[in-house]
Structure formats: structure tokens, C-alpha cells
Amino acid sequence: MSYNTLNEEEEYVIVKKGTERPFTGRFLENKAEGMYVCRRCNAPLFPSDAKFDSGTGWPSFDDIVEGNVSEIPDEDGRRVEIVCTNCGGHLGHVFKGERITEKSTRHCVNSISLDFVEKK
């Protein structure tokens, strides 16, 4: 399986588990209908209807494409990291029990880890 080539900024976030600055990501305000996919391997990760405005400055989703997003304990010992199940690329973190949406789950994702396929 071949992966998309990453630029330096993408590699910093996706491979080295960095975080993009809040309110800078290209998908923060995206309200189009479609599928958010992994920037590195194109696996479908988050449907657009799961996206909501959390006010945090990062794209937020309360649901995933089942099986395609994996949760692992973050190195900081507090948070739960989320990665692409297929390629292991870093996506962001998941927070539960905040009650912002009905599902009470917030997948806080770096725009740079994603690509978007608009529904036609």
C-alpha cells in the first residue's frame, strides 16, 4: 500500500504527533457534505454529518467511520490519542462525557491530518 507524500508540516503532525495551532486549520469552517479521509492513506474517517462546532478551534466530530479510528493512551498519561487504524497516522484526541452533543464524544482532529471528499 502506498501512502501520499507528506510535506514537512503534515509530517510534523501526522508522524511526529504534533498539533496544529487552533483556528488555523483549513477544515474548521467547512460545512460541505462529504467524507473526511486520512491525509496519508485516504481511509474514510469522519462523515461530515458528525462534524460540529465545538468552539475549540479544531474540527470536531462526535462520530467516526466504525473501525477506522483507533484510540490509544496518549504519552501524556491523561488524554486518549486517536490514530488512523489503517496507517497509524496521528489525528488528534478524543474527549468523552463533555455533553456538548447527544453522543457526548468529541473527536478533536487536526485539519492537516485530513483530506475531504465532497459528496457530488
Nearer to Zn ion, 39 or 106 (CB): 39
| Binding of Zn ion by 40 (CB under 5 A) | yes
84 binds Zn ion (CB under 5 A): yes
Q: Which of residues 44-83 bind Zn ion (CB under 5 A)?
A: none
DSSP sequence for 10-54? HHHHHTT---PPTT--TTTT---SEEEEETTT--EEEEGGGEE--
The CA-based dihedral angle spanning residues 2, 94, 23, 110, taken in that order and rounded to the nearest 10 degrees: -10
Pick from 54, 60, 86, 113 the residue near Zn ion by CB under 5 A. 86
Q: Which stretch binds Zn ion (CB under 5 A): 50-58, 72-80, 87-95, 102-110?
A: 87-95
Tell me if 92 contacts Zn ion by CB under 5 A.
Answer: no
User: What is the three-class DSSP state of 109?
Assistant: strand
Q: Which of 38, 41, 84, 108 is catalytic?
A: 108
Report the candidate in 80, 103, 104, 84 with the shortest Cα–Cα distance to residue 93: 80
Q: Which positions are catalytic?
A: 108
